[in-house]
């Protein structure tokens, strides 16, 4: 029996764009997080060795703080998109799929609103920091450069929660995130 490929549905333009954007964003986020962790490791090890034999690296604390902030708020969007955030998994896993989908929808909506509020508040904080004109002690960089990632990270997380809502509207099965389907399996192979 031959399989006619013309019968299979072809992904639409929006689906192709979504896949490409998802791949690009994922690659960027993972690259930033890997860079931050590697840079932190190198910087902290170098600082310990320098402090042991000579003197501490004068900018190590500032750069470490920046890298931790960058890692945290880049990871926020990544965590939401990959369903690696804290959630009530045991609670959701024991629900029927339709009820689970409703709860995921509500949780995602509330989380998107909270992330949007945090994005707005961090944007105001960033503008306030820019207006003050403070600089960092060691590198003499404007302090606000450390806070640029805050509204970006919160906004991207809000967008990922909205994508989760859209995915649950479009798809028949429950999705924990735009990239993670809810696939709880018991020992007997099915849902409770």
pLDDT digits (tens, 9 = 90+) for 88-101: 666 777 778 788 88
Work out the percent of the chain whose per-residue pLDDT is above 90: 16
Extents of the domains making up the chain:
13-170
What counts of helices (H) and strands (E) characterise the chain? 5, 0
Query: What's the whole-number average pLDDT of the chain?
Result: 81
pLDDT of residue 9: 46
pLDDT at residue 58 greater than cutoff 60 = yes
pTM: 0.77
What is the band of 15 on the pLDDT scale with cuts at 50, 70, 90? low
Count Cβ neighbours within 10 Å for each residue of 129-146 and write b for 16 or more, e otherwise: beeeeeebeeeeeeebeb
């Amino acid at each position: 029996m031959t399989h006619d490929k013309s019968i299979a549905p072809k992904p639409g333009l929006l689906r192709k764009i979504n896949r490409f954007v998802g791949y690009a964003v994922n690659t960027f986020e993972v690259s930033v997080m890997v860079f931050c962790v590697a840079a932190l490791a190198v910087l902290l090890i170098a600082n310990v060795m320098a402090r042991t034999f000579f003197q501490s690296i004068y900018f190590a604390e500032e750069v470490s703080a920046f890298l931790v902030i960058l890692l945290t708020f880049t990871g926020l969007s990544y965590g939401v998109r990959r369903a690696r955030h804290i959630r009530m998994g045991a609670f959701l896993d024991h629900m029927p799929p339709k009820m689970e989908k409703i709860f995921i929808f509500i949780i995602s909506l509330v989380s998107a609103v909270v992330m949007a509020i945090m994005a707005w508040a961090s944007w105001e904080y960033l503008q306030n920091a820019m207006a003050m004109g403070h600089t960092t002690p060691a590198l003499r960089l404007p302090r606000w450069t450390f806070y640029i990632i805050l509204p970006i990270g919160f906004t991207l997380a809000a967008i990922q929660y909205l994508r989760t809502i859209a995915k649950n509207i479009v798809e028949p099965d429950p999705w924990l995130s735009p990239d993670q389907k809810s696939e709880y399996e018991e020992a007997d192979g099915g849902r409770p």
